[in-house]
Amino acid sequence: MPIDAITQKVSDRYARAAATGEQMCCPTSYDMQRLKTFIPEEVLRISYGCGTPAGLDTVRPDETVLDIGSGGGIDCFEASRLVGPNGRVIGIDMTDVMLDIAWRNAPIVAANLGYPSSNVEFRKGLVDAMPVEDGTIDLIISNCVINLAPDKRKVFGEMFRVAKPGGRFTISDIVSDQTVPQYLVHDAGKWGDCLSGALTLTDYMNGLTDAGFLGIHLVKFSPWRAIDGIHFFSVTLTGYKQPAPAASSPLQYATLRGPFSHVMDERGTTYRRGIPQPITAEDTWLLSTPALANHFLLTADAVRLDATDPRWQAVLPAQTPCTWQGHYALLAGPFLEAADDDHHVYRRGEPLEICSKTLAVLQTEGYAPHFAILNRAGQPVGGSVAVCAPEGGCC
């Protein structure tokens, strides 16, 4: 299906939904009672998405925020409240009906928030050719919209272009656990349902890395639908555009604390637990980003750790038989590869079948933020227990 045809069909679908009040079918979790206190019902009833990127403590006062695919404006108006009257919010959408609703309600929201004037503006445009100046945005948000773009790599490139050095994104979208087959890709109706355009988690996160973003990590995960054995799920991801590099840093070494036994970062550097490794000022910045900082000890001098050191982190599987229950683990950053203490190697976005003991390990504090867990079993599993290894270790 030609790209222009896809874009037009998606625009028509959302214009029709705005006119009729049709409820689109993505998994949202807006706090509607709170939003009703300052956002008109006309906006709330046409709000679609698969997450709440503006409501996850991502927006900071006085920032400039860009919402990709702003629709009727719900996320822009929430961001408007959070940046305060001195901040600025820009919404981009390609559908005239949505833009009309958003512009009509902007002064109402501003008045409800007690602002002297609206700090939100809406621009018509496509997500792969954003009408936004280079390097002007502190935070990019998007709610189940990039999925609808035929060329997502162009979108990721545009995001990187408009972000300030040191800027970041928090985006919610639908991804899949395996490549969407052509019979779904060419099903026009399922494009508007956030199915046909879904990338695998691997391709989605790698596309963001290829665009230049780093420190990309999972903020929130929610299963959604399974169609013909393909699992679609919502993820909210955050990542960063590196600021201008410091000339030097007093921190010269990084030591992986764990709980992973080794990790590979997005630049391809491998760190092994307990072994100090020389780092550059750029490495210092990356390893200090929120999703990585707790896993590393950054020091001026080389510091080696072992299992007797309280800074060492490890989670071993229970020494009991396990069961297979249909669970699969998908590493969702900020590492390209990571290994646990039972020799499982996880590669970003690739489903790996895990037993009950490994599931318990991945649900612990050090591991859980980095994994999406799916269950592919189509019915309750009644398999017998299994001893995974002669010494009682996990499979």
Over residues 278-292, mean pLDDT: 95
Domains, in order of start, for the chain: 3-240 (3.40.50.150), 247-314 (3.40.5.100), 316-395 (3.40.5)
The yes-or-no verdict on residue 22 having pLDDT over 60 is no
Instruction: Give Dmax (Cα) for the chain.
Output: 71
**Alpha-carbon distances of 335 from 60, 122, 170, 268, rounded to whole Å:** 26, 36, 18, 9
Question: What is the pLDDT at residue 392?
Answer: 47
CA atoms of 352 and 391, how far apart (whole Å): 22
Strand pairing report for 253-256 and 270-272: unpaired
**Alpha-carbon distances of 62 from 70, 84, 131, 158, 159, rounded to whole Å:** 20, 6, 21, 23, 20
Per-residue pLDDT band at 134 (split at 50, 70, 90): very high
The larger pLDDT score, comparing residue 183 to residue 62, is at 62
Q: In this structure, how many other beta carbons lie within 10 angstroms of the beta carbon of residue 223? A: 15
Percent of the chain with pLDDT over 90: 73
Question: What is the pLDDT at residue 30?
Answer: 79
Query: 242-255 pLDDT, tens per residue?
Result: 998 877 889 999 99
Query: 87-126 pLDDT, tens per residue?
Result: 999 999 999 999 999 999 999 999 999 999 999 999 999 9
CB 178 within 8 A of CB 230: yes
The SS3 call for residue 93 is strand
The β-bridge partners of 173 are 235
Cβ neighbours for 390, distance < 8 A, ≥ 6 positions apart: none
Model-level pTM? 0.90
**Which of 52-56, 178-182, 224-228 has the weakest average pLDDT?**
52-56
| Highest mean pLDDT pick, 221-230, 273-282, 376-385 | 273-282
Over residues 156-179, mean pLDDT: 96
The SS3 call for residue 186 is coil
DSSP conformational letter for 290: H
Per-residue pLDDT band at 11 (split at 50, 70, 90): very low
